[in-house]
């Protein structure tokens, strides 16, 4: 088949792009999109489009597609794609869902929890001043972690936090069975209607959601006020799940102990972002899923989907079906 690859700019391209090319091998003909050339001719007779990161697509591209068999997003999020427009054009859209990056996201979230509890920024400041012995932090033992969304990354985080003696609470749009609660060591499971109540009693609130109109700024000013002043917010999902201005106000007023943030509402963000100025914020530049393992697993997923389409089979992980979107609302 003939495949058109929409790649990230050079500095963000690999290993993602190379892993995909290695996984596809010589089974199909892969062409790289040329941003300096006319758009229309490049989509002529294309069977599959690979969109690295899901952020390079335009409606114009979809309009030029003829009998496209698959628009494959190399990434989990698809909020930057006008899925409804692609659906109207009859173009199937698939992503590489949460299970391919879940371990990486969970490890980053756990790293944030430990760094915040042990007051990482404060230890570094005092270390450089030669002040030893008197930076006291907290232990994770006995703390309550609320997982908002109980998809793949939340489940991996539950497995990793439980051995630290953390009590695990989880909310999901789909009922969490008793078997799953036992498997992942949940101390309490709830539904979206329980969010406000469960926020008031947690020590860490960690977001594991897709971004859509239902979840945008889910953690708003009112819900931030429900958290204890000793609580921490963790976000390795999407920045716009949180009202960032309200978060800044809560941190400035001492109404929140701190935050661990890998994502921001506007990306790439400025080094002068107000949230980065707080000493009780641990932040990374949207790299929680950026591991060599994630890259290879996503690449293998893309290659498998292309091979399925070549054999006349339905693509896996379709996101432009109403049933798929309802399931994904609270999962990442």
Catalytic, 286? Answer yes
Among residues 139, 267, 304, 314, which one is catalytic? Answer: 267
244 to 146, 154, 178, 264: CA distances (angstroms): 20, 22, 35, 8
What's the rounded Cα separation, in Å, for the pair 145 and 149?
12
Quickly tell me which residue has 């929140």 as its tokens.
256
In angstroms, what CA-CA distances link 169 with 71, 147, 201?
Answer: 36, 6, 10
Inter-CA distances, 271 with 55, 267, 274, Å: 22, 11, 9
Active site residue 238: yes
Where do the H-state alpha helices sit in the chain?
A: 16-24, 39-42, 59-64, 83-88, 102-117, 120-128, 152-161, 178-183, 195-199, 221-226, 244-252, 292-310, 322-328
Distances (CA, A) of 142 to 135, 145, 187, 206: 21, 10, 12, 16
Q: Helices marked H in 34-77 — which ranges?
A: 39-42, 59-64
List the catalytic residue out of 28, 121, 273, 286.
286
Closest by alpha carbon to 75, among 53, 93, 103, 106? Answer: 53
Whether 311 is a known active-site residue: answer no
- CA–CA gap between residue 29 and residue 14 (Å, rounded): 19
Q: Which of 56, 210, 223, 238 is catalytic?
A: 238
Query: What are the catalytic residues?
Result: 238, 267, 286
């Amino acid at each position: 088949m003939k495949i058109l690859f929409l790649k990230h700019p050079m500095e963000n391209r690999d290993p993602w792009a190379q892993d995909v090319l290695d996984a596809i091998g010589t089974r199909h003909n892969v062409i790289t999109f040329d941003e300096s050339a006319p758009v229309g001719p490049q989509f002529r007779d294309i069977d599959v489009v690979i969109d690295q990161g899901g952020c390079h697509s335009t409606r114009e591209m979809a309009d030029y597609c003829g009998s496209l068999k698959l628009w494959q997003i190399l990434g989990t999020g698809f909020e930057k794609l006008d899925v409804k427009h692609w659906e109207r054009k009859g173009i199937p859209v698939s992503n590489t869902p949460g299970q391919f990056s879940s371990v990486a996201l969970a490890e980053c979230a756990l790293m944030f929890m430990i760094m915040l509890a042990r007051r990482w920024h404060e230890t570094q400041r005092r270390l450089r001043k030669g002040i030893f012995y008197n930076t006291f932090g907290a232990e994770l033992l006995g703390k309550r972690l609320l997982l908002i969304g109980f998809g793949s990354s939340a489940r991996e985080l539950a497995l990793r936090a439980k051995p630290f003696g953390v009590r695990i609470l989880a909310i999901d749009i789909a009922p969490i069975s008793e078997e799953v609660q036992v498997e992942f060591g949940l101390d309490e499971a709830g539904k979206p209607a329980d969010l406000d109540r469960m926020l008031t009693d947690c020590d860490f609130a960690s977001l594991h959601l897709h971004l859509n109109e239902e979840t945008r700024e889910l953690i708003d000013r009112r819900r931030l006020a429900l958290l204890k002043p000793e609580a921490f917010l963790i976000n390795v999902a999407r920045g716009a799940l949180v009202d960032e201005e309200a978060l800044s106000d809560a941190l400035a007023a001492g109404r929140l102990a701190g935050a661990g943030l890998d994502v921001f509402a506007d990306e790439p963000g400025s080094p002068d972002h107000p949230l980065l100025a707080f000493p009780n914020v641990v932040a990374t530049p949207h790299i929680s899923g950026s591991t060599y393992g994630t890259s290879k697993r996503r690449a293998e997923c893309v290659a498998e989907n292309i091979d399925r389409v070549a054999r006349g089979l339905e693509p896996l992980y379709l996101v432009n079906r109403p049933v798929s979107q309802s399931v994904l609302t609270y999962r990442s």
